[in-house]
Homo-oligomer: A and B are copies of this chain.
């Protein structure tokens, strides 16, 4: 019996409201041993007030030492074991441009590339063409027709694109055609497992036509296919938790991840203020709200400690608008750490806060990594955050008599 078997069986409906505020890449590192992290450096009176009353802990997104991408990071927070539910790169790329994937779709990340006169790849990123060029080429490729399937080609950014084949009997187990080096021809699509033969055929036909369409468009006179994948079959929030759930996220990828687990995706505007407006407006229509704040991650990725601190303070300033709604459970966490000193996602455990009337006092006074290390949640796998949220919301019956 796994966690979702339990929550399916034990879920109880009531009037409670849960808010999960995800500050992307929240966890950090100090600039020198003994120093303060970004979160600890930030002035966060509102988060600290929640920490005083609530329970803190450190969550491990996947496994110790494993650095998650945004997909596994969020699936974990949503309570879906990221080692069981695997989101292919093509699917994530499609989610990232708000493309709504259906059950018959195979999603592919494409990269434009340059072919020399022998048909070998001379540049795997097509000289990093601009987005204006990439967008026009995608419009051309989008006209490709293949009997028996629908073909969608969408521009992402610069040399990146998304291709979606929609049709019956399309498997997602097809190997990349990018040989990962130059001086050789692109690979032919081949099936990695039975059931994907038709996808291979379609992909070959697509590439044949694309070669013709792009032949005069050097340096982008061809493309490679990567991360060919179907949307995984994921049970919905409604089914496993019994909650009416909504996502209030500015960036498409996070909206897409929320849609994957069956959340309603609401118009989030552009700012935290917009998001709070939306939260207020939708308050009576949902039980669970996922709010996503991107900039703690992007400033970390930029290696900008001070800017990350500022963004955390910006987040803190929005907290009173959320608490004013009196959510029964308010969670503040991240999908992973993004220490500015590493300029990348990392495996370090993530500061996490649960605020609810049923929290056991843990003597933590502030919201920060050191404080969370001493918190009442201890160190725990992120996938258990949702059952904790449901418990504090009175939404889980007793297991067994």
7 closest A-B pairs (Cβ-Cβ)?
Answer: A65-B387, A65-B391, A69-B400, A64-B384, A378-B379, A65-B388, A72-B400
A395–chain B nearest beta-carbon distance, Å? 10
Whether B347 and A66, one on each chain, are in contact in the complex, defined by CB atoms closer than 8 angstroms, is no
User: CA–CA, A227 to B401, complex, Å?
Assistant: 10
| A147 close to chain B: CB less than 8 A | no
Inside 8 A of A86's CB, which chain B residues have their CB? 1, 400
A157–chain B nearest beta-carbon distance, Å? 14
Inside 8 A of A255's CB, which chain B residues have their CB? none
Cβ contacts A369-401/B at 8 Å (1 or 0 each):
110011011111000101111111000111111
> Across the two chains, which residue of chain B brings its CB closest to A93?
B401
User: CA–CA, A69 to B82, complex, Å?
Assistant: 29
A330–chain B nearest beta-carbon distance, Å? 15
Whether B66 and A6, one on each chain, are in contact in the complex, defined by CB atoms closer than 8 angstroms, is yes
| A108 close to chain B: CB less than 8 A | no
Cβ contacts A29-72/B at 8 Å (1 or 0 each):
11001110100000000000000110000100011111111111
A344–chain B nearest beta-carbon distance, Å? 8
A181–chain B nearest beta-carbon distance, Å? 16
Inside 8 A of A399's CB, which chain B residues have their CB? 62, 66-69, 72, 82
> Across the two chains, which residue of chain B brings its CB closest to A67?
B398
Whether B398 and A65, one on each chain, are in contact in the complex, defined by CB atoms closer than 8 angstroms, is no
| A346 close to chain B: CB less than 8 A | yes
Whether A70 and B358, one on each chain, are in contact in the complex, defined by CB atoms closer than 8 angstroms, is no
A378–chain B nearest beta-carbon distance, Å? 4
> Across the two chains, which residue of chain B brings its CB closest to A61?
B399
Whether B358 and A29, one on each chain, are in contact in the complex, defined by CB atoms closer than 8 angstroms, is yes
| A345 close to chain B: CB less than 8 A | yes
| A83 close to chain B: CB less than 8 A | yes
Inside 8 A of A62's CB, which chain B residues have their CB? 6, 399
> Across the two chains, which residue of chain B brings its CB closest to A227?
B401
Q: Oligomeric state, in number of copies?
A: 2
| A142 close to chain B: CB less than 8 A | no
Whether B387 and A360, one on each chain, are in contact in the complex, defined by CB atoms closer than 8 angstroms, is no
Whether A391 and B358, one on each chain, are in contact in the complex, defined by CB atoms closer than 8 angstroms, is no
Inside 8 A of A387's CB, which chain B residues have their CB? 63-66
A375–chain B nearest beta-carbon distance, Å? 8
Cβ-neighbour of A66 out of B34, B53, B63, B396 (below 8 A):
B396
| A10 close to chain B: CB less than 8 A | yes
Whether B400 and A82, one on each chain, are in contact in the complex, defined by CB atoms closer than 8 angstroms, is yes
| A interface, over-half SS | loop
Whether B380 and A373, one on each chain, are in contact in the complex, defined by CB atoms closer than 8 angstroms, is no
User: CA–CA, A396 to B86, complex, Å?
Assistant: 18
Inside 8 A of A68's CB, which chain B residues have their CB? 398-400
Cβ contacts A357-370/B at 8 Å (1 or 0 each):
01111110000011
User: CA–CA, A386 to B70, complex, Å?
Assistant: 23
Whether B52 and A33, one on each chain, are in contact in the complex, defined by CB atoms closer than 8 angstroms, is yes
Pairs A–B under 8 Å by Cβ, sample size 22: A1-B83, A1-B86, A29-B358, A29-B361, A33-B52, A33-B53, A37-B360, A64-B380, A64-B387, A65-B384, A66-B387, A66-B396, A67-B391, A70-B401, A82-B400, A92-B401, A227-B401, A344-B398, A346-B358, A347-B396, A373-B376, A378-B379
Q: Given A1-B86, A347-B391, A360-B369, is A398 in contact with B69 using a C-beta cutoff of 8 Å?
A: yes
Q: Given A65-B384, A378-B58, is A89 in contact with B401 using a C-beta cutoff of 8 Å?
A: yes
Q: Which of A72-122 contact B (CB under 8 A)?
A: 72-73, 82-84, 86-87, 89, 92-93
> Across the two chains, which residue of chain B brings its CB closest to A376?
B373
User: CA–CA, A384 to B69, complex, Å?
Assistant: 19
A352–chain B nearest beta-carbon distance, Å? 12
| A149 close to chain B: CB less than 8 A | no
Q: Which of A1, A68, A227 has the most CB of B within 10 A?
A: A1
